[in-house]
Structures are given as structure tokens and as C-alpha cells.
Structure 1
């Protein structure tokens, strides 16, 4: 049976103002520990919505709930959605768990909310997907990505690339100042392993995210405190941030550009490791990146091959490759491997 705090709420809208008109239905459609990342993302989304001002009675959660207390979980009773991340499981309501996570209950909730909130009338809809009809979506914070999941998770993926992209963006920014279109563009840039798609009404793209997911008051004066000093000092956008007036549009734009650049660099790190893993059929790719040739050996055995790889890497990975070229050593590995 559903373990639900909602009774008539599933078919009635609240009368407590704007917050009462925002509803969220969070669904993790998988079970078993190997699919840890799906329930981790649902729990993370719940935390963002609560900090954004949505009330528990307006957030409906579907999750099998077999992860937090699973014997395989190295942190019993805790779920994280990124390496070193905080517990996102704490406080998550148990509306529909176990076998109650099914199509029938999901449709009843969706149809009930539509009837209660819109009175059965037509409603403009906007949806975004992690991939197109032919793609798969891919995990992030896994054992073979960068950064990897902690060793005690034995290579388990803590999140999905697409979902983590919008969750982390929402967690950082003041949602009163970011539109649906702006977040879509950020998420699409960061999601490199699949083709992010959007469907439905284009008129909603100008809406600010606060209308849908609220905004954390702590993000009112968004800062880059979460980034290390060395990370900021190595980026030209930090100069623009320091020179722009506090709370000015110029400063906000510079902060957003800096975050995009950080995401871009993070994606390059992840792509290089994935290329090594797949191309060389190696699992210890982090060790490969730090390995060196024996003293007295030339840098590579086939310079033509090496130069071709560098050129291809620059052409295929875009113009902003100054940071990416720190992985010239990884290209050495390919050149050496090809000559063997």
C-alpha cells in the first residue's frame, strides 16, 4: 500500500498563495543498489525544492527506498549525489515506496494534480530529456570518471550527467534571476555524453525558475565560495568579478561565465578519462595519467602519430582547448600504444 502523507491533496490545490500552487512529483523508476544514482537524484531534488520554499504536502516522492539501508551502502542510512557531498536522504518523505512505485499510482497522482490545479483545462507544458530517442544517458561521479566516486563505493555511479547538471546549477544560483532557457543552455553544455532535448511550449522559456522550484534564500547573493582560491585565480573571469560592482549585472554575468568555464574544464577531465578507458580497455586510467616513461626514453616513439592526435583532439574538442592541452601526456599514451 502507498505510504502517503497526502490524502485529498492529490486532487486539490492549496490556497496558501504562490507556494501552494507549485507542485512537484519526484519519481525514481528503478530499484536495487546498482541503480543508486536514480534515488540519489530524487533525494537531491527534494532538498533543493524544500530549500526553495515548497512545502512537504506539495512534494510527492516515488522511490523504492532500498538504497539508504542497503547492506552494500558504505554509509548506512545516508545517500550522497556527489563525492564528498552532504546526505540528501535526511528528511525525504516516504509517499510511495516499494511495490507502490508503479504506473497506476503515478498516473493517479499526475491526473489528480492536473484536475485539482488546472480544473481540467489545457495547460502549456515544457519538458527536457537527457537524451534523444536513440541515445542512452550516462552516469557521472563513477569509479572511472573524474572526479570519481569514493573508493568505498566500488565504482558505483553517484549520479547521472544530465540530472546532476541541473541539480548543481539550481543549488548554486538565485532562481529569481535564471530563466528556463538559461538553465537549459547550461545543462546542455555540460551534458556531453548524450543529446539533451527539449519539447513543448517555447513561451515558457522566458519564465524564471523560481516560479517552479523556488529559490534558496542563501543564494540571494550568489558567490563562488565553493571554488578554491587556486581554481579562481587561474581563470580570467575572476578578474571581471573582482572589478565589477557588487550585485551588478556585469558581476552576475562574470560569475555565470566562470561557473560555465569550471564545468567545461570538469567535462574535459571526464572525457579524457573515458577516452582512455574505452580506447585502451584499461580500468586504472588515473594511474595511466600520472605514469612516466623510463629515464632515457624519448617522449614518444612516433612523433607523426602524436602530432596527429594533438591536432584531432583540438579540432574535435572545440576552440577552448588551452586547459585541455594539459592532457598532452594522455595523448602520448595513445601514440605509444599505437606504435606497440
Structure 2
């Protein structure tokens, strides 16, 4: 599974006896990463102004492309884990399935050239890591690259500048609004704000969390890709206070200012 906080989908949830073996790009509280991002996003000499893949997924696909018939799921997991240096790749479910041959899950496969050999030829063996970007920052990276590569077209440059500044402002607004909500709720409950702002509590109060997220969307607006990282603050508030009404009151007050 390739996603930020993807480990949270299976941690303490996926049984180990139902014939399912899962691996994730990250643990339960960190971002996954894009790779081959600007300025290393060129195809045939042309910059696409975006990340060409996800670090974990690219490592997995390149390993699969080699078509090593004897490789097991566990061996593949360890290879991808060792090559994904920016996040913690994890495994869940029925570990005994790790002894199964990896290629038995996608059929016969004719090996194609190892792209890592190309990296060695270019003398940049760490290209994927060097060009990786936190998934929460890909939009910012994309708009910045578009702005830099807009050339002498003033109309395009103006449009990309608008998008870049809009992304920066949205990120700043998200940081501020979640900080205010977390701080206010904790003060109302005589708590320490940092416990909500910095912690990573395991979610158990799902009704409270669902209510808080829905209240935020209705009152403050949709949660952007970047702002999704702050949803953990709502989770922390629910786990610490289990007070949906207090959280809702703070959301309505702060987002209505």
C-alpha cells in the first residue's frame, strides 16, 4: 500500500491467519515520499515538472521487473525496505506467506533491464533518494518547478506564481487553524497543548474523530493533501478529551472568525 501513514491501515487491525500478506510504504505516523522529483524529472530531455513516481512503489516495481524467479515475498520486502530510506516500510498479516515466491502472484515475467544499472552508469546510485520529496510537499515542489521553468512567457510565469503563492498560503492557513483548534480545546480541558499538537495517539474514539473531521469540513472547508497531516491533531484531541462537543465548538468558533 502506497500512502502517507499507510501503516495505520493494518496496524493492530489485520489478522495473521486469513491468508493476507501486506506491506506499506510508511508506518502509521509518517509520510511516504515521491521520487524522481524536479529537477530529476526529465524524460527524453524534457522536464515534466512533477515527481515521476513514489519511492516505495518505484523500488517495488524495479525489483519485480528484474523477474528473479527464486525471490520470496519476504526477500522482496527486505530488498524494498532497505532501498526505501526516507520512510519505514512495514509488513503485516500472515508472515508465513513470506515464503511464497513473489512472481507467483503476477504470473510469468520476462526480466527487463535493471534500471539501477543505469543509475550506476550515471554515477548517481542514490538518485532515487536524492530526488525524493515528502509527499505532503509535492504540490509545492511542482508549482515551484513550473514557475522556474516557465521561461520568458510572462503569462505562464504569472499563472504559476499565483499557484505557488496559493499553495504557500493554504499551507500556512492549515498550520495556523489546526494549531489554534488544538491549543484551544486543550486549554478548555486544562490540558497541555503540546500533547495534542505533537503526539501520535492510536485512534480508538472513532465516532468523535468522524464528527470532528466532518465538522471541520463543513465549517472550515475541505482538507488539502498537505493539511491531512494535521488530522492527527483531531485524533489526539478525541483520544485525550473524548469530548466531541468541545472540539466542535472550537472548530466553529475559530473557523468563523
| Common fold: TM-score over 0.5 | no
TM-score when normalising by structure 2: 0.39
TM-score when normalising by structure 1: 0.30
Higher helix share: 2
Greater RCO (CA < 8 Å, at least 6 residues apart): 2
